[in-house]
Amino acid sequence: MAVVLVDAGGTNIGSVRYALQRLGVEAALTADPAAIRGADKVILPGVGAAGPGMARLRELGLVELMRSLSQPVLGVCLGMQLLCAHSEEGDTECLGVIDAPVRRFHEAPGLRVPHMGWNALAPVHPHPLLDGLAAGEQAYFVHSYAVPVGDYTLATSDFGGPFSAVIARGNFHGMQFHPERSAGVGARLLKNFLSL
């Protein structure tokens, strides 16, 4: 199975790669359109801001390619947000393969932004990506922007209200948390993605 990590400048690429190695998968880091198009699975990792993330994809000439992929695609953290239509972060037009907005968390008493640390997951729609995930299992988050709950939401988490923790539309999937830092839960969900 050929798995590629899209080299979009995310700082979590090494840890995602290591998490895949623990599952027995060697994922190539690439910005080569032919390698991405020919892969069995494509992962778009990302840590940082939406504007620079999209600028990097544009510089590499990968925007239309990413939109046209038909194999399973997984966006992780910022990568998930880049799959959406638009981010409030820098008023950024994103890939638009999942018709969802990305909005900044509102700070409130007891709610410090960024949302950082372990938080419970709540599955809302059955999907092979969530196989074996029980309500209340924890994943590790670091983010200031989130996707509201919609018909694309597979699982939610809560930070001053529910937000999308896992999303999907067709062959495109996203995890707002870091599966590579989420111990057994993250490993199981990555394995589920590799099995799609």
* Residues identified as active-site: 77, 178, 180
- Cα angle 156-124-99, degrees, rounded to a multiple of 5: 70
Distance CA 79, CA 87 (A): 12
Q: Which two tokens stand for residue 8?
A: 């979009």
Widest CA span of the chain, in angstroms?
49
The DSSP code sequence of 95-158 is --SS--EEEEPPPBTTBPSSEEEEEE-EE-S--GGGTTPPTT-EEEEEESEEPPP-TTEEEEEE
